[in-house]
Amino acid sequence: MSAPESAPDMAIRELLEYLVRGVVDEPDEVSVEQFDQDDGSILLELAVAEQDYGMIIGRRGRTVQALRIVVKAAAARDHRRVFIDLVD
């Protein structure tokens, strides 16, 4: 299912990593896996340290929603769709 990453796709993943590392207490525990979907969209699976999930979600999900908006805007330049999932 996954194909080699192109430069714009890699930049989107790196943008998410950069933003999340600035928010959490354990930046070394941040990991983002990328999966290219058959329809051309990108799925980014975000994992952080156990105690940092609350920081990423934020009050009423505002922080994770803001992250999704920024990453989707960056992907829109390349006419790509991006989905971010938080995983354990």
Q: Which amino acid is at 13?
A: R
pLDDT (0 to 100) of residue 70: 95
Q: How confident is the model at residue 1 (pLDDT cuts 50, 70, 90)?
A: very low
| Strand 31-36 relative to strand 42-47, pairing | antiparallel
pLDDT (0 to 100) of residue 15: 95
pLDDT (0 to 100) of residue 9: 67
Res. 2: pLDDT tops 90: no
CB 49 within 8 A of CB 26: yes
Task: Give the integer Cα–Cα distance in Å for 71 and 38.
Answer: 20
Q: Which domains does the chain have, with CATH numbers?
A: 7-86 (3.30.300.20)
Sheet holding 82-86, edge to edge: 31-36, 42-47, 82-86
For the chain, how many residues are written? 88
pLDDT (0 to 100) of residue 8: 65
